[in-house]
């Protein structure tokens, strides 16, 4: 069990974490949520020891290993497969099939196993790092936004992989559906404190909302009582007949604590600036084709019409041309053949993957937005800053010091300033937190124009998509239906049927044996943890009962002392049974470890 006790941390005079405490028990898979900038990634770095707390302690079991996906890319082996095998545990160093299995799941083809890591894009290199972390099978796996580098096919595989993960896991992700599908518990960083529950994000957010509502009602009630007390004291202070009552109220007032009003938590609450469009069709795409090299065509003869209220999602594997399609529709690229015809009144708001790189680091947020719309007055610019959660002095922060999520909000703010009737959004959620993703969905629902969005989030796909553009099996095609229609009628299975080495029967049997062994061991460890907790609780209860017995001598009647003795005896019986059960389970674990597959 990993224990975090009274941990505090400040940066630049700003308190980030305030005496937080929680435990991670055997087999728990925890989703970590909180506003951007609340300290989620910092908590990971505290656990790994990269950052030291101002106060408090992190206690790890002996020989406890932690796997943390690093973004720095340094490779020492000539091929992807050899590099991945560096992640294998020493006892598994010859089990290359394990590396092949994980690399395949993360989107590498068998042919690519033997290419140099340097030949791949940054996203695929991060996937290679992820494969190395997974192959190490650490006791605690720390994943910070892993889906940012995965396409939808890989995310579906990764979801199933994490659902079978036998050890501990902490996950940061903006994708609520992905988080809820793989985690057993949710931990929130909220108002510099933490709250952990068994259950999903919806349950936790609901619980926090209820607790804060109760707190505010109690605070207002206490404030009203305080005002009434002060009014009574002031009114009757000079009356001798009421002197004792006044003194009583003064003492009561001194003892009365004062609850502080909860500061408002900022929400990404905005509406896209829509421009009325009277016609039926915004854009016509007629048999367009495009490729960056003559040898590889990304898009071939794609045709579709974009209506004024369309909700089109672009889906498929990475590197197949999804972002390229949006750049074509935005006019940044020209098709090699075919034609894109835009209505004269079509106004595009384009959020591309490189948008945040186009921000001027020497400007403040306010200046960046004002530069886009010099015709707007100061109050309009400030209003947009506030909608993007940059109210007050926050709007004066330089672009250069912003996090990825903050830069994404600035880029969205620039779209808000421009009246539009066609939104082209390329993975806009990658740097947003869970709550901001919910706000984005609501804003898209309210937008009266058309939306074309590239996303790997199945939450967005199920919620938004009325039609799809699918990049699958080296072709792009238009699908007239919802995402669920696509899964039911087409699905992703054909993409998954790539050539694979046939596993030897013995190897297959070994894999099944290891899975069964890991499950049994996980179940036994969970039982041992539960019994250890029972023993701890009973020891405390027995100690308390014995203390009461000692204090009762000569003070209570014989019958009352007998009741206390019976209570202490019952605790002792439960404790004895607990120790017996613990010995039995430890013996079972020892016997099981002797049968571990070689």
273: its two tokens: 């600036």
Which of 205, 231, 255 finishes a domain? 205
Can you give the residue range of the structural domain that contains 143? 2-205
The set of residues, in sequence order, having a beta carbon less than 8 Å from that of 176 and lying 6+ positions away, is 201, 434, 437, 438, 459
Q: What span, in angstroms and rounded, lies between the C-alpha atoms of 471 and 323?
A: 11
Among 114, 385, 418, which residue's Cα sits nearest to residue 268? 385
Beta pairing partners, 378 = none
Same domain, 400 and 531: no
Does residue 431 form part of some domain? yes
Mean confidence (pLDDT) of the chain: 86
Q: What span, in angstroms and rounded, lies between the C-alpha atoms of 3 and 59?
A: 5
Same domain, 299 and 439: yes
Q: Where are the beta strands (DSSP E) in 221-310?
A: 281-290, 299-307
Q: What span, in angstroms and rounded, lies between the C-alpha atoms of 53 and 451?
A: 45
Percent of the chain predicted with pLDDT > 90: 40
Helix or strand or coil: residue 86? coil
Q: Check residue 230 and give its pLDDT.
A: 86
Same domain, 148 and 169: yes
Does residue 264 form part of some domain? no
Among 135, 78, 72, 77, which residue's Cα sits nearest to residue 103? 135
The set of residues, in sequence order, having a beta carbon less than 8 Å from that of 103 and lying 6+ positions away, is 80, 81, 84, 113, 128, 131
Q: Domain tally for the chain? A: 3
Same domain, 70 and 189: yes
Same domain, 570 and 478: no
Does residue 318 form part of some domain? yes
Same domain, 432 and 286: yes
Q: Check residue 345 and give its pLDDT.
A: 93
Same domain, 286 and 181: no
Phi-psi region of 67 (alpha: psi -120 to 50; beta: other; left: phi over 0): beta
Same domain, 316 and 369: yes
Lowest mean pLDDT among 194-208, 256-270, 581-595: 256-270
Q: Check residue 417 and give its pLDDT.
A: 86
Tell me: the pLDDT tens digits for 521-553? 777 877 887 888 888 888 888 888 887 777 776
**Alpha helices by DSSP H, 447-504:** 458-464, 483-489, 493-496
Tell me: the pLDDT tens digits for 51-67? 999 999 999 999 999 99
Which of 168, 183, 205 finishes a domain? 205
Residue 509 banded pLDDT, cuts 50, 70, 90: low
Among 115, 7, 136, 159, which residue's Cα sits nearest to residue 69? 136
Tell me: the pLDDT tens digits for 372-424? 888 888 888 998 888 887 888 889 999 998 877 788 888 888 888 889 999 99
The set of residues, in sequence order, having a beta carbon less than 8 Å from that of 209 and lying 6+ positions away, is none
Give yes or no for residue 497 having a pLDDT over 60: no
Same domain, 489 and 347: yes
Q: Check residue 492 and give its pLDDT.
A: 78
Same domain, 537 and 483: no
Among 420, 466, 416, 473, which residue's Cα sits nearest to residue 439? 416
Helix or strand or coil: residue 401? helix
Does residue 551 form part of some domain? yes
Does residue 143 form part of some domain? yes
208: its two tokens: 């926090």
The DSSP secondary structure of 503-534, one letter per residue, reads PPHHHHHHHHHHHHHHHHHHHHHHHHHHHHHH
Answer with the residue of higher pLDDT: 482 or 293: 482
Q: Check residue 495 and give its pLDDT.
A: 44
> What does residue 18 show for φ and ψ, rounded to 5 degrees?
-120, 95
> 437: part of which helix (H) or strand (E)?
helix 434-446
Q: Check residue 317 and give its pLDDT.
A: 84
Residue 264 banded pLDDT, cuts 50, 70, 90: low
Residue 501 banded pLDDT, cuts 50, 70, 90: very low
CB 444 within 8 A of CB 290: no
Tell me: the pLDDT tens digits for 236-250? 877 777 777 878 888
Q: Check residue 493 and give its pLDDT.
A: 60
Phi-psi region of 277 (alpha: psi -120 to 50; beta: other; left: phi over 0): beta
CB 333 within 8 A of CB 290: yes
Give yes or no for residue 486 having a pLDDT over 60: yes
Q: Is the pTM of this model over 0.85?
A: no
Residue 208 banded pLDDT, cuts 50, 70, 90: confident
Q: What span, in angstroms and rounded, lies between the C-alpha atoms of 114 and 119?
A: 11
Does residue 267 form part of some domain? no
Q: What span, in angstroms and rounded, lies between the C-alpha atoms of 16 and 77?
A: 40
pLDDT mean over 228-235: 84
The DSSP secondary structure of 7-73, one letter per residue, reads EEEEETTEEEEEEEEEEE-TT-EEEEE--TTSSHHHHHHHHHTSS--SEEEEE--TT--EEE-----
93: its two tokens: 């160093």
Does residue 255 form part of some domain? no
CB 413 within 8 A of CB 369: yes
- Distance of CA 153 to CAs 180, 434, 491, Å? 18, 22, 10
Same domain, 467 and 579: no
Q: Check residue 64 and give its pLDDT.
A: 93
Same domain, 318 and 389: yes
Which of 152, 176, 205 finishes a domain? 205
CATH number of the domain encompassing residue 409:
3.40.50.300
pLDDT mean over 554-569: 77
Tell me: the pLDDT tens digits for 291-331? 888 878 899 999 999 999 999 999 988 888 999 999 999 99
∠ CA(329), CA(332), CA(336), 5° rounding? Answer: 75
Does residue 248 form part of some domain? no
Give yes or no for residue 590 having a pLDDT over 70: yes
């Amino acid at each position: 069990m990993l224990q975090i006790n009274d941990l505090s941390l400040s940066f630049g005079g700003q308190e980030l974490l305030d005496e937080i405490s929680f435990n991670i028990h055997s087999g728990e898979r925890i989703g970590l949520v909180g506003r951007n900038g609340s300290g989620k990634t910092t908590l990971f770095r505290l656990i790994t020891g990269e950052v030291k707390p101002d106060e408090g302690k992190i206690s790890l079991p002996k020989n406890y290993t932690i796997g943390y996906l690093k973004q720095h890319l340094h490779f020492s082996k000539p091929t992807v497969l050899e590099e991945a095998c560096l992640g294998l545990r020493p006892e598994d160093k010859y089990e290359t099939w394990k590396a092949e299995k994980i690399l395949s799941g993360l989107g590498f083809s068998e042919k690519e196993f033997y290419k140099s890591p340097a030949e791949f894009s940054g996203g695929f290199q991060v996937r290679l790092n992820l494969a190395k972390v997974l192959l190490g099978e650490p006791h605690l796996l720390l994943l910070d936004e892993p889906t940012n580098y995965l396409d939808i096919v890989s995310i579906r595989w990764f979801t199933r992989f994490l659902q079978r993960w036998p050890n501990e896991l902490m996950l940061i992700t903006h994708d609520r559906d992905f988080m809820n599908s793989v985690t057993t518990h949710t931990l929130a960083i909220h108002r510099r404190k933490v709250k952990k529950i068994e259950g999903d994000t919806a349950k936790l957010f609901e619980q926090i909302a209820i607790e804060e509502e109760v707190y505010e009602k109690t605070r207002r009630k206490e404030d009203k009582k305080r005002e009434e007390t002060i009014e009574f004291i002031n009114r009757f202070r000079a009356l001798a007949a009421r002197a004792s009552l006044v003194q009583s109220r003064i003492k009561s007032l001194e003892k009365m604590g004062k609850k502080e009003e909860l500061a408002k938590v900022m929400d990404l609450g905005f509406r896209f600036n829509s421009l009325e469009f009277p016609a039926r069709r915004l854009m016509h795409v007629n048999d367009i084709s495009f490729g960056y090299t003559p040898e590889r065509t990304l898009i071939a003869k794609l045709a579709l019409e974009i209506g004024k209220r369309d909700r089109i999602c672009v889906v498929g594997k990475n590197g197949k041309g999804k972002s390229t399609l949006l750049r074509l529709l935005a006019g940044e690229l020209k098709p090699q053949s075919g034609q894109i015809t835009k209505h004269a009144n079509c106004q595009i708001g384009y959020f591309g993957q490189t948008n945040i790189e186009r921000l001027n680091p020497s400007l403040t947020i306010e200046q960046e937005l004002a530069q886009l719309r010099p015709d707007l007055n100061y109050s309009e610019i400030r209003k947009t800053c506030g909608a993007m959660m940059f109210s007050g002095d926050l709007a004066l922060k330089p672009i250069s010091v912003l996090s990825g999520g903050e830069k994404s909000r600035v880029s969205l703010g620039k779209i808000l300033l421009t009246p539009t009737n066609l939104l082209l959004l390329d993975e806009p959620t990658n740097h947003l937190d869970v709550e901001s993703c919910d706000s984005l969905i609501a804003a898209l629902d309210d937008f009266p124009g058309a939306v074309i969005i590239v996303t790997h989030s199945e939450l967005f796909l199920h919620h938004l998509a009325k039609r799809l553009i699918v990049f699958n099996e080296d072709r792009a095609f238009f699908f007239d239906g919802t995402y669920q229609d696509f899964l039911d009628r087409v699905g992703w299975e054909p993409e998954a049927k790539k050539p694979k080495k046939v596993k030897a029967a013995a190897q297959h049997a070994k894999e099944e044996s290891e899975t069964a062994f890991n499950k049994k061991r996980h179940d036994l460890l969970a039982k041992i943890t539960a019994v250890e907790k029972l023993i701890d609780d009973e020891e405390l209860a027995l100690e308390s009962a014995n203390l009461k017995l000692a204090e009762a001598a000569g003070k209570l009647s014989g019958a009352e002392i007998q009741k206390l003795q019976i209570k202490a005896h019952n605790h002792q019986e439960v404790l004895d049974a607990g120790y017996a059960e613990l010995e039995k389970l430890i013996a079972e674990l020892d016997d099981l470890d002797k049968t571990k597959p070689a």
